[in-house]
Structure 1
Amino acid sequence: MALTRTTATFAPPVMEARRWLDGVNFTDEMPLLNVSQAAPVDPPPLPLRQFLAETALNVPDAHLYGPVLGLPELRSEVATQWTASYGGDIGPQNVTITSGCNQAFAAAITAICTEGDEVIIPTPWYFNHKMWLDMLGVKSMPLVTDNEMLPDPERARALITDKTRAIALVTPNNPSGVEYPPALVRALYQVAQDAGIKLIIDETYRDFDSRDGAPHDLFTAPDWGQTLIQLYSFSKAYRLTGHRVGALVGAESLLAEAEKFLDTVAVCPNHLGQHAALWGMQNLGDWVAGERLEILDRRAAISEYFPQIAATGWKLKGVGAYFAYVQHPFDMGSDKLAQKLVKDIHVLALPGTMFTPENDPDGRQDMRIAFANVARPDIKLLFDRISTVSAQ
């Protein structure tokens, strides 16, 4: 097969992992525990589904093309709520609605990069970010994180060349779950500003941050649009995964370039999903707060029950948002171990090899556990099963 944009990268990891289920017979005594994907599997809350149905029936425009940059009302609501949450000056002209947060990243990268450019991404990385960079011909520059899974600003500075266009972060992080401290985010912003490049912050999981208040103060900078690009997803907060609604926040000049990309690949974001996101923002604040508390309880359960497998050599490297990132004690690659867990204990998790450069020693030893869809009792069951695993 000839080399193409798509052959330049790897197969979608979640889809690859699902193929490991083929031929495995799950039982009532040991059903599958799927901790591979971070997307909610439950539908939106009933009031939101009712609103969606009424909108589909009664709003003719919801079935037509809309503005490429999104519904003006939703852009305005994001600007208003973000200004209240982060401070600073964010207007509707700074907000673009996208077909999911992955598209927001793709639009941002396409607007600021060309083939041969470089983007710095901390490892372990979010694999869809790496895939898009590969397909665009942009070189990913791995920024190794420390023992607390945090990127070092000075290491980032040392990676910058005349081809560097951005540093791309995810916080709370996917895959590690770690929440980047405000001072660290500010320091990385300063590195980007000094170099005249962008700092991209994917805040898909901001609604499940354990901290109160703004996770950073970057929007208070008077010229934030010259450096900062923020990405967001409505999928996790309102369970709108199938409706594909995300957001890109940045300078007007950036959005003008992103609009070219968005018009070409999708024309406009899903109209029904945008109406749902707007209604959710205006009506589901208390419900989202309850969802956050449930996720924080699951995070606490990870920490409470982990000593059961720590006793057999496992290590908890990071936990937060929807994820726990763990190190296994066996002399085998995590890709092989992940397939063994499916067969032996009916657990589907993603190996660290899917989040790191090829032959990275940390990737070989690490695994990601996504606990968005496993409540406290299943987390206990998960560690019960893992405690029985051997290297044989």
Structure 2
Amino acid sequence: MTDNPIFAVAAKAAALRAQGADVITLAAGEPQAATSAAVVEAAVDAVRDPATHHYGTAQGDPVLRALAATAVAGDTGVPWSADDVQIALGAKHALFLATQALIDAGDEVLVAAPGWPGHAEVVTAAGGVAVPVATDEHFRLSAEALDHCRTPRTRAVILSSPGNPTGAVHPASRLRQIADWAQQHGIWVISDDIYRAFDYTGTYRSILRVVPRLRGRTVVVGGVSKEHAMTGWRVGWLVAPPEIIASARLHVSRTITHVPTVNQRAARAALNDPGTPVEAARAYRRRRALLVETLNGIDGIDCPLPDGGMFAFPDVSGLLRDRGWTSSADLAGWLLDTARLAVVPGEAFNAPGRIRVCFAVDDETLITAIERLQTALASTEHESSAQQLEEVR
């Protein structure tokens, strides 16, 4: 099993920083902002509370589970209770718990391509086989594409909307088709909703809000990491039918015992703070526009405006061709070495010829990164022109 390739980029950037280099990272899948003061204070209070110094329940803090159930019920339009929630060590752990509950060794789970490599990784970790499914020109899954990849061993599909790295939001009509297909063939849907707060088109809908009857075959995965800038706190959840929760609870009990109680208290404070995600989405929308406009102003780059999420996902194949790079990995490596700018090559997402660029950073960082990108590429354009002139001579 290989490690997430995004981590390799982050590790190289961190190593350069440790050597004193001034590296700007637009590669991370996390907000640059600090966790809110209210959440930090709640954690400090929790540390002082002796009740958090002892074991908690495997399923998670009942108050946090109730808050998560209320949030997911509001999103999906169908009722959930605290008993329907399992607290996990972040959304990635929740995805693993859901997958291991649904599959046996060798069973298949369909994942989007391009898509976040973590989806395939949790399937592999659970003993299954991740089957990539090609998305359409807007990076959306379709019932037809899913059915083309379906076999007798297919057990589930992981649906992410908004998606990572593409930012694609699946419209209600597409979700309805996918739900009908899943119900027809007895396929489970694992709905990864971690970027749900960052919808810039107003078109985001939970698949259960569109097709509530799918409740008995759907697992909803969420967490506080992206919406509340709490990636390091590692608190997520899955909301699912009783048999899935029972399996997840047993796995947690036999492995990690429970998610740290202090972190769960912090997550409680986050879920009682609806304003932070709204403010973040407002800022990201503005930075998204700035970044995409800049990228589209560079010859050889074609950057679609993402519907949601925290990333731009431009096609840089024209730039590679014009400047002589053989892959987006070459370009990403050159940007890190030359411009001290970290981005993730598209190969990490099964999308060669593209790069992922995060805009969940502050204005100053984004503007400086853009200036570095423009300056570095202008220098290579000059060098390329000079070389062509010399060849003509």
TM-score, scaled relative to structure 2:
0.88
One-letter amino acid of the counterpart of residue 294, structure 1: A
Partner residue of 1:231?
A: 221
Of Structure 1 and Structure 2, the greater helix share is in: 2
Deviation per residue, 1:85-136 (Å, 9 max, x gap)? 3312222222111110000000011001111111111101211121222233
Partner residue of 2:391?
A: none
1:301 maps to 2:302: no
In the TM superposition, what are the counterparts of 1:102-121 in structure 2 within 5 Å?
102-121=92-111
Task: Describe the SS at the equivalent of 2:220.
Answer: strand
Query: CA contact under 8 A between 1:26 and 1:32: conserved in structure 2?
Result: no
1:339 maps to 2:333: yes
1:364 maps to 2:356: no
Query: CA contact under 8 A between 1:120 and 1:167: conserved in structure 2?
Result: yes
1-side partners of 2:44 and 2:159: how far apart? 36
Task: Describe the SS at the equivalent of 1:316.
Answer: coil
Task: Describe the SS at the equivalent of 1:242.
Answer: helix
Deviation per residue, 1:37-79 (Å, 9 max, x gap)? 121243211222122111211x222222211111111111122
One-letter amino acid of the counterpart of residue 301, structure 2: W
Task: Describe the SS at the equivalent of 2:78.
Answer: coil
Partner residue of 1:15?
A: 7
Deviation per residue, 1:146-181 (Å, 9 max, x gap)? 211112221101211110011112111111112221
Displacement of 1:213 in angstroms is 7.8
One-letter amino acid of the counterpart of residue 350, structure 1: V
1-side partners of 2:379 and 2:170: how far apart? 32
1-side partners of 2:237 and 2:67: how far apart? 12
Partner residue of 2:312?
A: 324
2-side partners of 1:101 and 1:21: how far apart? 24
Partner residue of 1:253?
A: 243
1-side partners of 2:93 and 2:284: how far apart? 25
In the TM superposition, what are the counterparts of 1:104-183 in structure 2 within 5 Å?
104-183=94-173
Which 10-residue stretch deviates more, 131-140 or 264-273? 131-140
Query: CA contact under 8 A between 1:85 and 1:214: conserved in structure 2?
Result: no
Query: CA contact under 8 A between 1:305 and 1:383: conserved in structure 2?
Result: no
One-letter amino acid of the counterpart of residue 289, structure 1: V
Displacement of 1:212 in angstroms is 4.2
Displacement of 1:268 in angstroms is 0.8
Which 10-residue stretch deviates more, 65-74 or 14-23? 14-23
Displacement of 1:386 in angstroms is 5.7
What 5-or-longer segments of structure 2 have no aligned partner? 385-393
Query: CA contact under 8 A between 2:69 and 2:84: conserved in structure 1?
Result: yes
Query: CA contact under 8 A between 2:304 and 2:314: conserved in structure 1?
Result: yes
Query: CA contact under 8 A between 2:332 and 2:342: conserved in structure 1?
Result: yes
In the TM superposition, what are the counterparts of 1:143-292 in structure 2 within 5 Å?
143-212=133-202, 215-219=205-209, 221=211, 223-282=213-272, 284-292=273-281
Query: CA contact under 8 A between 2:188 and 2:218: conserved in structure 1?
Result: yes
Displacement of 1:33 in angstroms is 2.1
One-letter amino acid of the counterpart of residue 336, structure 1: D
Which 10-residue stretch deviates more, 116-125 or 80-89? 80-89
One-letter amino acid of the counterpart of residue 299, structure 1: R
Query: CA contact under 8 A between 2:284 and 2:310: conserved in structure 1?
Result: yes
Task: Describe the SS at the equivalent of 1:140.
Answer: strand
The 1:386/1:90 distance shift into structure 2, 3 A limit, reads farther
Query: CA contact under 8 A between 2:133 and 2:145: conserved in structure 1?
Result: yes
The alignment-based identity, stated in percent, is 23
One-letter amino acid of the counterpart of residue 44, structure 1: T
The 1:119/1:27 distance shift into structure 2, 3 A limit, reads closer
Displacement of 1:318 in angstroms is 5.3
Deviation per residue, 1:335-379 (Å, 9 max, x gap)? 2221111112221111111111xxxxxx22111111212535246
2-side partners of 1:20 and 1:274: how far apart? 32
In the TM superposition, what are the counterparts of 1:67-82 in structure 2 within 5 Å?
67-82=57-72
Displacement of 1:389 in angstroms is 6.2
Displacement of 1:24 in angstroms is 5.4
One-letter amino acid of the counterpart of residue 106, structure 1: F
Query: CA contact under 8 A between 2:135 and 2:145: conserved in structure 1?
Result: no
Displacement of 1:18 in angstroms is 3.2
Of 341, 345, 353 in structure 2, the residue corresponding to residue 351 of structure 1 is: 345
2-side partners of 1:239 and 1:23: how far apart? 23
Which 10-residue stretch deviates more, 369-378 or 143-152? 369-378
Of 358, 361, 373 in structure 2, the residue corresponding to residue 373 of structure 1 is: 361
1:43 maps to 2:38: no
How many residue pairs end up in the alignment?
373
Query: CA contact under 8 A between 1:188 and 1:199: conserved in structure 2?
Result: no
1-side partners of 2:157 and 2:95: how far apart? 12
One-letter amino acid of the counterpart of residue 348, structure 1: A
One-letter amino acid of the counterpart of residue 332, structure 2: A
One-letter amino acid of the counterpart of residue 340, structure 2: H
